[in-house]
Amino acid sequence: MTLVQMQPRPANANPAPRTADTAMEAAAPQVCDDMTVEVALAVMASARTDHLLVGDEDGLCTGLVTQAQLTALRDTAAYTDHVRLRAVLGDRGPFTSTRTTMAEAEHAMRYRGLDALPVVDEQGSALGVLALAR
C-alpha cells in the first residue's frame, strides 16, 4: 500500500467561477440579417437546430432568432415572405461576454425568458451560444 500525502487546501481558496466561454456551445449557424424568414427557417431545418445567430454586413452579431419565434411570426396575418431577419430582431442584443459567470448568465436568461444567448467577443463577433438545459 502506498500512502499519498495530501496538501491542505487553504480555507479561503475558492475555485474560480465557471464562465460563459467554458460552457458555451460552438457557434450555431450564422446568417446575415438581410435573409428572409422563410430562408432562415429552411437553414434551421437543414442544420437541425432551433436557433440561428444573426449578423450584420460587417460580421457583427446582431442577435439570435429561434424557430419558435420565426414560426409564430410566419403564422400572423401581417406576415409576407419578404420579411427580413433584421425586422424581427429590432435592436441589437441581448448578448453575454466570455467573462460572464454562468450564474450571472443563467440569471439574465431566466429573467428575460431566453432559452439561448449569444456569446460575443470584445468586438461584437459571435463566438458561441449559451443554452439552458431542457
Torsion sign (Cα): 30, 36, 37, 40 = negative
Q: List all residues 6 or more positions away from 63 whose beta carbon is below 8 Å from its beta carbon.
A: 53, 54, 89, 92, 93, 94, 118
CB 55 within 8 A of CB 108: no
The DSSP bridge pattern shows strands 30-32 and 25-26 to be unpaired
Q: How far is CA 30 from the centre of its chain?
A: 11
**What gap in Å lies between CA 128 and CA 14, rounded to an integer?**
27
> Could you tell me the domains of the chain?
20-131 (3.10.580.10)
Q: Which cell is 49 given?
A: 437546430
96-134 per-residue burial string, b: 16 or more CB within 10 A, e: under 16: beeebebeebbeebeeeebebbbbbeeebbbbbbbbeee
CB 53 within 8 A of CB 131: no
Per-residue pLDDT of the chain (134 residues; tens, 9 = 90+): 434 444 455 555 556 677 776 766 776 788 999 999 999 999 999 999 888 999 988 888 898 998 988 999 999 988 898 999 988 886 667 888 888 888 898 888 889 888 888 888 888 888 888 887 65
